Amino acid sequence: MNVIVNCEFRFYQTPDGNVWTPSSFKYDFWLRYAAVFEQVIVVARIKEVSEVSPDWLQANGKQVTFHALPHYIGLKALIFALPRLIKSLLAVLKLDGLLLFRVPSQTATIATCLLKKNKSYAVEVIGDPYDVFSTGVGGKLAAPLLKTFSKRTLQKQCQRALGASYVTQYYLQQRYPPGKNTLTSFYSSIMLDESQIVDTPRSYQQVARKLVFVGSLEQMYKAPDILLQAFSSLVKADSTFQLTMIGAGQHLSELKAQAQQLNIQNNVEFVGEIKSNEVINFLSQADLFVLPSRTEGLPRAIIEAMAQGLPCVGTSVGGIPELIPDELCVPADDAMALFTVLNKLCNNLDQLTEQSVRNVEKSRQYANQFLSAKRQQFYQDLKTQYQANLKKQQGSN
C-alpha cells in the first residue's frame, strides 16, 4: 500500500530524475513512512535545475519517489500558478494510496477542497497558521483574513481526517481538535539520535556569557529583532556577552543593520546557514540557548539545544511551554521581559546547572528510538483503518 505525503517544502530536480534538497527533508526523513508503507510518494513543489550545489542532499531513493507540483514562491505567484496547481493536484488525488497532508499547507487546503467526500486522508499538524498570520505575514489587509480562514480550514481538516497527529502534546490539539472518530497521536518531527544527547549535563562554574540562536531569517517568526533588542541591554550591563545567530534569509541584512544601530555589532556573530550536522558544534560551545519566537509548533532547535545540556529561554507560544519551565518563557515581542529573564539566568550558576540537568533528561523523550515507535504505531493504525474502509466501500458497491 502506498502513502502519498504532501509537503510544503520546495525541492530541485536534475535531468536524471533525482530530487534534491538544500537542507531539510533528505532521503532518510521519508524512510519513517517507508517503515510501514510499501511506497512513499512525496507531493511537493519542484524546480528543474541543470546541476546541484555541492552541499545539496538527495531526497528520493528506494521506496521514495516524488510527484512534482508547479514551483512558485509567495501568494501572488500562487494565484498565477493556480490553474496548473489544481490540474496537478487532481492527478495526485487519482493515485492509489493513503493521502497524508503535513499541515498547515496551501496545497493541502486546495487538495482537500477537491477531494470527494468518501476519500480518506490523514494529517500531521506541524504548526499553527493562526499564529503565523497573527505576526502580520501577508500584509496588514490580508493577514487578518488569512489567519481566520487558515484557522477554520485546519480545524475542518482535523475534524474530517481519518487520523491526525500533532507535534505538541496539548497546544495544537486544543486549537485544532480531531474528530470524534479520528485516530490521534502526538510526536515531534525531530530526528534526534541517542548519540546526539550528551551523557553528562553541564556543571556551571562561571556565569553564562555565550548565547546562541538558531532559526530561519526568511520570515520574522523567530523574533531575531526582539532578541537583538534584549541582547543590547545585556551588553550594556556586561560587554563580555556574545551572541551567535545561526540562520539565513531575506531579513539577514536588516538584522545586521539593527546590530550596528544598537552598537552591538562586535558582540554578535551572524553565521548564516550551515549544515544541520554542524549546528551541534555551535551548541556545544555556547552557554545558553534563546529562541524568542512569535509563533511555533514544537521547535526542534530547542530540543537539540536541550540535548547538548544547554539551559533554554523562550516565549509562551505554541509548544514551547511544553519544553521549558514557565519562569523561562516570556511573552512574545517583549524585549524587556526577555532581557530580565536572560540576565537573571545567565548570572545564576545553580539555576544554570539545574536547567542543564533537567534539559538533558527532557531531551531523551524525543530520541529517535522513542519517537519512531510512536510514529510507526500511528502509521500502522492508519494503514489498517484505511484498508478496512476500502473493504467497506467495495462491499457497498
List per-block mean pLDDT (blocks of 10 residues) for the chain, which spans 397 residues: 96 97 92 97 97 93 97 89 96 96 95 88 95 77 87 96 96 95 93 91 98 94 97 98 96 97 98 87 97 93 97 96 97 97 98 98 93 95 94 75
Is 373 found in the same domain as 241?
no
Is 375 found in the same domain as 345?
no
Domain assignment present for 187:
yes
CB 289 within 8 A of CB 311: yes
Which residue pairs from 16-19 have beta carbons closer than 8 angstroms and sit at least 24 positions apart in sequence? 17/60, 18/58, 18/60, 19/46, 19/58, 19/59, 19/60, 19/66
Domain assignment present for 394:
no
> What is the model's pLDDT at position 167?
94
Is 213 found in the same domain as 269?
yes
Is 101 found in the same domain as 244?
no
Task: Count structural domains, the chain.
Answer: 2
Is 221 found in the same domain as 138?
no
Residue 178 preceded by cis peptide, ω within 30: no
> What is the model's pLDDT at position 138?
67
Task: Please list the residues that pair with 183 across neighbouring strands.
Answer: 163
CATH code of the domain covering residue 39: 3.40.50
> What is the model's pLDDT at position 74?
82
Domain assignment present for 102:
yes
Task: Give the range of the structural domain holding residue 247, as residue numbers without chain letter.
Answer: 194-365
> What is the model's pLDDT at position 116?
83
CB 318 within 8 A of CB 132: no
Amino acid at 213: F
Is 135 found in the same domain as 79?
yes
Amino acid at 313: V
Is 88 found in the same domain as 42?
yes
All 3 cell numbers of residue 66? 516524488
Domain assignment present for 396:
no
Is 241 found in the same domain as 122?
no
Query: What predicted TM-score, i.e. pTM, was given to this entire model?
Result: 0.87
Q: Are strands 19-21 and 2-13 parallel, antiparallel or unpaired?
A: antiparallel
Is 212 found in the same domain as 75?
no
CB 225 within 8 A of CB 231: no
> What is the model's pLDDT at position 390?
87
Is 180 found in the same domain as 217?
no
Domain assignment present for 264:
yes
CATH code of the domain covering residue 318: 3.40.50.2000
Is 168 found in the same domain as 30?
yes
Domain assignment present for 71:
yes
Q: CA-CA distance, 256 to 233, in Å (whole number)?
A: 17
Domain assignment present for 393:
no
3-state secondary structure of 25: coil
Domain assignment present for 392:
no
Is 210 found in the same domain as 158?
no
> What is the model's pLDDT at position 231?
98
> What is the model's pLDDT at position 397?
59
